[in-house]
């Protein structure tokens, strides 16, 4: 039971890191970036290439993957979303879905359809023995720690730094922010940069925990993380964390105790129930703090 719970929190932490990307972009640019899940997949492939083909040490490969995904996120925003800044939200949504397929198919061309076996970053580290005999994999420990660290840094960033404050101002009133001298386009780019950089971290963690890498690797976790963001209250950073972790725990427990085939159905079922009673998500009150 304890082992399942820890696995759930670990998976949920990965969802939470992805959900941050959704929630921040939604909070600031007021759009759903459905290509976000595929940035995770790119992060996975990039780190895979560095580690398997060039023998780059894992930490450096992760940093390189983050850098490349950050640039990718900014580029996607510039090319695909920026021209639609004043378009209807539906047009932006369709573009985001298109971008998602574009990334998946590009990956298909570059890396092929055959799954790649992702190297185990933590192969030299023993699984930890917990009280009661439960074993916890190192990736679980890293995922949970990374999630906590990222959450603390992001919260401090949005509340205490000038760029974070600018982001919150843009999220409330783009026009007024512009007239106070805030560069809205740059602020939105920064949001995409942060979200995509985090997606790379999530990609590495995800591929380490579930070591098959395919062009569609990012889509299911992407959708689940989006669910987690909605679950917690989209636009809210703590909401993404709580939503992500709850979703991970529900998924693992359902898989362990009910049925592994039904796990996903149960996850989405819980979302539907929550949204019936709390349409704005767990933390999404009438007045809630947007990023």
Partner 1 sequence: MSKSPEVKLVNVPSPNFVPEKDLGKPLVLEAAHLGIDFGGLVAVDEFNIGIGATEICGLIGPNGAGKTTIFNLLTKVYEPTRGTIMIGGKDTHNMTPVQVNQLGIARTFQNIRLFDKLTVEENVKIGLHNHMGYHTLAGVFRLPNYWKEEKKAHERALELLDIFGMADLAGVRADSLPYGAQRRLEIVRALATGPKLLLLDEPAAGMNPSETEELMNNIRKIRDEFQIAVLLIEHDMNLVMGICESIVVLNFGRIIAKGTPSQIQGNPQVIEAYLGTHRG
Q: How far is the CB of 138 from partner 1 (least distance, A)?
A: 26
* CA 1 – CA 131 distance, rounded (Å): 12
Task: Output 182 or 254, the one with its CB closest to partner 1.
Answer: 182
Residue closer to partner 1, measured from CB, 166 or 240 = 166
Cα(95)–Cα(222) distance, integer angstroms: 16
Residue ranges in the chain assigned as alpha helix (H): 2-29, 36-54, 58-76, 89-111, 138-160, 162-172, 174-179, 184-209, 219-232, 237-253, 263-277
Q: Is 286 in a helix, a strand, or coil? A: coil
Nearer to partner 1, 130 or 153 (CB): 153
Cβ proximity to partner 1, 221 vs 284, nearer residue:
284
Q: Tell me which residue has tokens 């996607």.
A: 76
User: Nearest-CA neighbor of 187 among 59, 37, 82?
Assistant: 82
Q: How far is the CB of 101 from partner 1 (least distance, A)?
A: 32
For residue 165, the minimal CB distance to partner 1 (Å) is 5
Measured distance CA(148)–CA(154) in Å, rounded? 10
The minimum distance between CB 180 and partner 1, in angstroms, equals 5
User: Shortest gap between Cβ of 181 and partner 1 (angstroms)?
Assistant: 4
- The DSSP result for 134-185, as a single string, is -EE-HHHHHHHHHHHHHHHHHHHHHHHSHHHHHHHHHHH-HHHHHHTT--HH
Q: In this complex, which beta carbon is closest to partner 1, that of residue 198 or of residue 263?
A: 198
Kindly state the smallest distance separating residue 152's Cβ from partner 1, in Å: 12
- Residues making contact with partner 1 (CB under 8 A): 153, 156-157, 160-166, 168-169, 172-173, 175-183, 190, 287, 289-290
Nearer to partner 1, 176 or 265 (CB): 176
């Amino acid at each position: 039971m304890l082992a399942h719970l820890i696995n759930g929190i670990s998976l949920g932490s990965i969802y939470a890191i992805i959900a941050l990307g959704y929630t921040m972009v939604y909070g600031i640019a007021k759009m759903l970036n459905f290509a976000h899940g595929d940035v995770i997949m790119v992060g996975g492939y990039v780190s895979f290439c560095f580690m398997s083909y060039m023998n780059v040490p894992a930490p450096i490969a992760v940093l390189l993957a983050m850098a490349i995904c950050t640039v990718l996120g900014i580029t996607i925003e510039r090319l695909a979303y920026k021209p639609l800044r004043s378009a209807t939200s539906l047009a932006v949504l369709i573009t985001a879905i298109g971008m998602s397929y574009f990334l998946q198919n590009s990956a298909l061309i570059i890396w092929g359809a055959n799954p790649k076996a992702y190297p185990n970053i933590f192969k030299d580290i023993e699984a930890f023995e917990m009280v009661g005999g439960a074993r916890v994999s190192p990736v679980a420990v890293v995922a949970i720690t990374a999630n906590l660290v990222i959450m603390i840094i992001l919260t401090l960033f949005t509340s205490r730094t000038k760029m974070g404050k600018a982001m919150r101002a843009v999220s409330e009133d783009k026009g007024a922010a512009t007239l106070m001298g805030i560069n809205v386009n740059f602020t939105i780019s920064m949001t995409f940069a942060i979200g995509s950089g985090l997606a790379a971290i999530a990609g590495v963690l995800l591929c380490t925990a579930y070591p098959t890498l395919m062009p569609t690797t990012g889509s299911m976790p992407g959708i689940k993380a989006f669910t987690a963001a909605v679950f917690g209250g989209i636009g809210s950073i703590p909401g993404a964390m709580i939503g992500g972790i709850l979703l991970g725990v529900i998924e693992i427990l359902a898989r362990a105790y009910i049925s592994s085939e039904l796990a996903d159905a149960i996850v989405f079922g819980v979302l539907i129930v929550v949204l019936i009673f709390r349409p704005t998500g767990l933390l999404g009150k009438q007045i809630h703090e947007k990023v």
